[in-house]
Amino acid sequence: MLLSMLLSKLLPTLRYLVALVALVSLQLQAALVPAPPQLAATAYLAMDAATGDILVESGADGRFAPASLTKMMTSYIVEHEIAQGNVAETDLVPISVKAWKTPGSRMFVREGTQVLLGDLLRGVIIQSGNDASVALAEYIAGSEDAFADLMNQHAVRLGLKNTHFENATGLPADNHYSSPRDLALIARALIRDFPEQYSIYAEKYFTYNDIKQPNRNRLLWRDATVDGVKTGHTEEAGYCLVASALRDDMRVISVVLGTTSDEARAAESQKLLSYAFRFYRTFPLYRANAVLNTSDIWKGSLDSVGLGLSEDLAVTIPRGQEDQLAATLDLPGVIEAPLAAGQQVGSLQISLGGKLLREVPLVSLQDVAEAGFVKQIWHSVVLFFKGLFE
């Protein structure tokens, strides 16, 4: 009888413990992320396009021959010039002897003719035409050498650390190199800065001069979520591919360099993309210009000021770990006027399981002018005694 009474009293506790163990077990299972795949490639990387977070990397900052991946920067500059209004897709571009004679993959333009700039852009992106690349370089900068200088200036502007260009095509040249991280950043810039042109990278065929050529990116046929970006191949570089895919509002960019075949670069890229989408998720956290905190302001025409972020903030983390995210505001004890909208006041820190992921500036969302003389004197007195007591 006594044992029965004890069991009846302990049973709810035992049930709770069993449920708790089961819940913890499920959470641990959800948080498990296996080691990334080891690829048959010289170097590789997977990046979340929205956040820039690196999900997988091997040799990400090594300097390698980029082959026709170079043409991502060539097309980026053309698209930049279109956006600036300096050129238009309807411009007629003259074809020089140099462009016509450029070896390697071709669009098959003819010397002495004029070709629509929009057609040449497709010739670069879809057909990987070296002739089209040189023609565009000469049209925009006057010569391919001058265009290469422009490419390097844009490389600095985009924050590329291990990239230097000698030509617009990617044909072998001394001192012509890039890294997986830098190539991913170029692809990210293409997608972010010129969305109106980015759809070209998903086109499977382009016909010019009655010659129909396919896009060399095999993943466009195998995976409906893949919509770019560029292939490359030389004997020195091997078979390379920068791919991008969009699934459930998450975009991943993969870079694979130095594989042994056309088939291998597609297969290894697919491994990277599959791993990234399976085990990671992008979480939008805060919108730009949303008020995250309202703080008192001293010696100002206003008594308080709204604080927030100047840009949207998102993070990419392993699936199942979102409950471990935490946000912390780091603010000074006293905020004084004047303040300009966009001026940094403090910082917002995002951590995952106690590990810092992001630290971004917390800025004033409005202008706050200095207060009148009387209010400034009064606030100075109050702050003086406040400092004494603190």
In tens, the pLDDT along 231-276 reads 999 999 999 999 999 999 999 999 999 999 999 999 999 999 999 9
pLDDT at 27: 47
Give, in words, the CATH class of 43-280: alpha beta
pLDDT at 388: 64
Name the active-site residue from 71, 230, 271, 299. Answer: 71
pLDDT at 7: 44
Name the active-site residue from 75, 96, 105, 128. Answer: 128
User: Is 295 an annotated catalytic residue?
Assistant: no
User: Is 271 an annotated catalytic residue?
Assistant: no
In tens, the pLDDT along 170-192 reads 999 999 999 999 999 999 999 99
| CATH code, 287-389 | 2.60.410.10
User: Is 71 an annotated catalytic residue?
Assistant: yes
pLDDT at 24: 43
| Angle made by CA atoms 321, 289, 330, in degrees to the nearest 5 | 60
What DSSP string describes 90-127?
TPEEEPPHHHHH--SS-----TT-EEEHHHHHHHHHTT
Name the active-site residue from 68, 105, 179, 364. Answer: 68
Query: Percent of the chain having pLDDT more than 70?
Result: 90
**Which sequence spans correspond to the domains of the chain?**
43-280, 287-389
pLDDT at 347: 97
In tens, the pLDDT along 360-390 reads 999 999 999 987 777 777 777 677 777 766 6
| Angle made by CA atoms 192, 349, 182, in degrees to the nearest 5 | 35
In tens, the pLDDT along 20-75 reads 444 444 444 445 789 999 999 999 999 999 999 999 999 999 999 999 999 999 99
What's the chain's average pLDDT? 91
This prediction has a pTM of 0.86
